[in-house]
Amino acid sequence: MQHTILTADRPTGKLHIGHYIGSLKNRVRLQNSGEYRTFIMIADMQALTDNARNPEKIQNSLIEVALDYLAVGIDPSKSTIFVQSQIPALNELTMYYLDLVSLARLKRNPTVKSEIQQKGFGESVPAGFLAYPISQAADITAFKADTVPVGDDQEPMLEQTREIVRSFNTTYQKDVLVEPAGLFPPKGQGRLPGLDGNAKMSKSLNNAIYLSDSADELHQKVMKMYTDPKHIHVEDPGQIEGNIVFDYLDVFATDQKQVAALKTQYRHGGLGDVKVKCYLEEVLNATLAPIRQRRGEYAKDLGTVYQILKTGSQKANEVAAQTLSEVRAAIGVNYFDKH
Ligand code: TRP
């Protein structure tokens, strides 16, 4: 049987090169392998669980994320790109699954727990936010996805989904739902550090390079990158460890021999930071220039982009509705089919 992929992003901002390395690049590869039926979802309802009073942010980010997808090479003729809120079956599935999960179990989810802490919600956490792993189980199972390419932080969501699948199939004695497995980035490649040296690249830390950044913005950001603070004069020996510029070169440079030579020279002394940064800028541009170009073209034609999302949502709707009807039949709430 052909494998099915479902993956998603919350539209709370534009995507950055950390997303590209951690996930987008991999999705394009999987899409092009031809081994998967691929569904890529913009999780606007999940984004609303902590932005209910700021829907404009979600509306604006929705189109930015769609542009980022198309720009990196997600191809609507190979992958179904769709919008979560346009798939009513997901909500109904969520309602049935809510009854299979205890409040205590929800509160134990480590990812949600740390998010609640970060956002300072305490006991005022929106119920929808606490329950979003259940809605995420609906996202995954509606498409009978067996493969979910995500970052390491999503493992608890997959565990929760598998529990729901097992619980559903046992309770209603029908193998309707499929247990998903996560597909994680290779060790050490999951997370790109921020420009300031912070372990995480993120919008809130203001330390990200966006896929939508212009060549000029890229230049400014690379020149401001954190390096070795003790490397003051060109002739001083420099340190590679914790030097973000070299971390990025490890990830993005195709000529790793050249990177190794630069590292040797940097350690030894006599190689200035600006020189290494100019090389990094060149390397990043090799990846980002075609993305920037494609993004610019789609941005001129948003009508087409919305049409892609609409067509994708219609297609996704059919698949999700089919699963929902099997779920209804398994629970026995399909009264009028029988009478
Ligand atoms: N929680 C995911 C994130 O924050 C987004 C998401 C929503 C998702 N539904 C999903 C990921 C289903 C994988 C599968 O990035």
C-alpha 333/C-alpha 147 separation (Å) is: 29
213 lines ligand 1 (CB under 6 A): no
Residue numbers in the chain where pLDDT is lower than 70: 1, 188-190
C-beta 125 within 6 A of ligand 1: no
Whether residue 43 has its Cβ less than 6 Å from ligand 1: yes
Global pTM reads: 0.95
Task: Name which residue sits closest to atom 2 of ligand 1, judged by CA.
Answer: 9
Q: 3-191+301-338, what's its fold?
A: Rossmann fold (3.40.50)
Asked whether 320 lines ligand 1 (CB < 6 A), one says no
**In which order are the strands placed within the sheet that holds 3-9?**
79-83, 36-42, 3-9, 147-149, 181-183
Ligand 1 site, residue 136, Cβ cutoff 6 A = yes
Domain with CATH 1.10.240.10 in the chain: 215-297
pLDDT, residue 92, reads 98
Token pair in block for residue 295: 């993004």
Ranges in the chain annotated CATH 3.40.50.620: 3-191+301-338
- 304 to 66, 142, 222, 301: CA distances (angstroms): 11, 27, 33, 6
Topology adopted by domain 215-297? Tyrosyl-Transfer RNA Synthetase (1.10.240)
What residue owns the CA closest to ligand 1's atom 15? 9
What local confidence, expressed as pLDDT, does residue 188 receive? 67
User: Ligand 1 centre and the CA of 106: distance in Å?
Assistant: 16
CA distance 278 to 222: 8
Amino acid in the structure at residue 327: V
pLDDT digits (tens, 9 = 90+) for 149-164: 998 889 999 999 999 9
